[in-house]
A and B are shown apart, each in its own frame.
Chain A
Amino acid sequence: MTSSVVAVWSHRNALRLLVRRDLAVKYQQSVLGYLWSLIEPLAMGLIYWFVFGVLYDTGHHLGEASDSYPLFLITGIFAWMWTNAAISEATNALTGQARLITTMKVPREVFPLGRVIGRFAEYLAGLPILVLLAIIFGEFQLRWSMLALPLAILIQGALLIGIALLLSSLNVLLRDVERFMRLLTRVLFYATPIIYPLALVRDSSMPGWVKTLYDVNPLVGIFQLHHAVWYPAELDLRLTVISAVGSVLTLFFGWWVFRSLEPAVLKEL
């Protein structure tokens, strides 16, 4: 693994250009360009706010922070957009760039990696909006819990890179992966505390084993960290450890699968 890390690092310039190319191509023919990466999650947030905030009053489960449900929503949705887009775009990172991959010797890891980094750049672009919302809702305070954000990003990055490596190589051999993931990401969206607070799951009448299963999803801990930036009460050390371990394992597993499928993948492209 160290050798491929070194190889990727020595091609970091190529990686940077791939990311820039992806972003350039993505927004090439749209008037609003990069703004789309903000408009989409904000519109989604608006919809969920209407359904769950206004109609179902999900916010009151937040306790004292019940007034700032929109901030809670947008925090989750921004982080989710990174997850969702990275997974779906990484899945065809190899199949969609076959021409580049079959004509030059670059460590193949850079292609899925580039997709994860590209979506991360969009996430970063949304952070100022998040801060602005936090100020508006009066939740913006400089305190230790803010360190949850870099930690969340780190764990999430490891998880997404692992998933990206796994799916991109698998998708070359089995095109079903792409369709399957579209379904699975939808499931994951609701199986993660994004639009609802974790307390709702905790207080629900589901049997204990379902709740345990729920906690094993590494995204749960990651999103709790994202929320903990504004709501320190959401911080849960046990969940953080679970998601950190799960993410690192996924990263190693994804890398291993990528390496072992590589010869077959190259023949197939």
Chain B
Amino acid sequence: MSQPIIEARDLGIRFVRNRRRQLRLREMIIHRGGRQPRGDEFWPLRHVTYDLYPGEAIGVIGRNGTGKSTMLRLIAGVLIPDEGSIKVRGAVAPLLELSAGFSNDLTGRENVHLVGSLHGLTPNELKHKFDEIIAFAGDQVEKAIDTPVRHYSSGMKVRLGFSIISQLAHPILLVDEVLAVGDAEFRKKCYATMERLLAEGRTLVLVSHNESDLTRFCKRGLYLDGGLLKVDGTVTEALGAYNAAARR
């Protein structure tokens, strides 16, 4: 097989609960770092090792708060690991949040330009693809393209966000549970787009609780529990482990 496109090695990130409290001036002066409040630390993700090869579609499964989104953020590079390493060979097109990073004060058009270019589209590409992006997002968005995004429904934002991401030529696609928001018609469009992107040989990392979405796109599944990678196998195996844990 070729070189992995994503290489995670003993990946871990540490968060501190109640950091606010810990940083009180009084405590900073009195303890002076001499006593580390170890009890407040937790690892949303730790000892995670996997390789992802170009063209693979992988589903990340787990209950809420088990590190799925944290893992996507580490791949996207918007979090920096405390332990281990993650190597990503290629640009990443992330759809991590419902809002897709839109600024509420700007119109849809301005947001497409801002977010698009932050994702690495050149002004020229943006000009060429703008109509396509808007058309994909649907009539509702097209009509509201010159109104501020704060007046958009969450469905409209997701539509616009997804249609920007789908125009990126980046080899890695990260999608975090956003498909659940769109209506049936938009989901159908999304499915078609994702299938097209996969057929082009893109790599997909999908976080979802929807079994049919997962089995539809992904062959491989990662099952996370308590920040640890419990199952790295086929998507059926991962879902099996997830369902078994849910029944307990």
Contact = CB atoms under 8 A, between A and B. Distances in A.
Contact of B103 (A11, A100, A102, A173): A100
Interface residues of A, number: 24
A101 interface: yes
A102 B114 contact: no
Given A21-B106, A24-B106, A101 B117 contact: no
B180 interface: no
B78 A13 contact: no
B94 A104 contact: yes
Interface of B: 13, 15, 19, 23, 73, 76-80, 82, 92, 94, 96-97, 99-103, 105-106, 110, 113-115, 117-119, 122-123
B173 to A, nearest CB: 14
Contacts, number: 68
Contacts of A100: 101, 103, 118
A62 B203 CA distance: 69
B79 A103 contact: no
A179 B97 CA distance: 31
A85 B13 CA distance: 36
Contact of B114 (A17, A101, A105): A17
Given A13-B123, A102-B96, A105-B77, A25 B101 contact: no
Contacts of A106: 118
B114 A103 contact: no
A121 interface: no
A11 B119 CA distance: 9
B103 A174 contact: no
B76 A267 contact: no
A268 B39 CA distance: 18
Of B73, B99, B101, most buried by chain A (CB within 10 Å of CB) is B101
Contacts of B114: 14, 17-18, 21
Contact of B97 (A18, A21, A28, A102): A102
Q: Which 9 A-B pairs have the closest CB atoms?
A: A103-B101, A263-B80, A105-B77, A14-B118, A100-B101, A25-B105, A14-B117, A103-B96, A103-B97
B115 A104 contact: yes
A238 interface: no
Given A103-B96, A174-B23, A266 B78 contact: yes
A103 B100 contact: yes
Contacts of A263: 79-80, 82
Interface string A4-42: 000000010110011001001100100000000000000
A99 B117 contact: no
Given A17-B117, A21-B106, A267 B78 contact: no
A122 interface: no
A105 B82 contact: no
A14 B105 CA distance: 18
A262 interface: yes
B96 to A, nearest CB: 5
Contact of A99 (B19, B97, B106): B97
A84 B92 CA distance: 37
Q: Which of B94, B97, B118 has most chain A Cβ within 10 Å?
A: B118
- Residue among A24, A103, A268 having the largest count of chain B Cβ atoms under 10 Å: A103
Given A105-B76, A105-B77, 11 more contacts: A14-B117, A17-B118, A24-B110, A25-B103, A25-B106, A99-B97, A100-B103, A104-B78, A266-B78, A266-B79, A266-B80
Nearest to A16: B117
Nearest to A266: B79
B92 A13 contact: no
B80 A104 contact: no
Contact of A17 (B92, B96, B113): B113
Contacts of B103: 21, 25, 99-100
Given A13-B122, A13-B123, A25-B106, A103 B19 contact: no
20 contacts: A13-B122, A13-B123, A14-B114, A17-B114, A17-B118, A21-B106, A25-B105, A99-B99, A102-B73, A102-B96, A103-B100, A103-B101, A105-B77, A105-B94, A174-B23, A262-B80, A263-B80, A263-B82, A266-B80, A267-B13
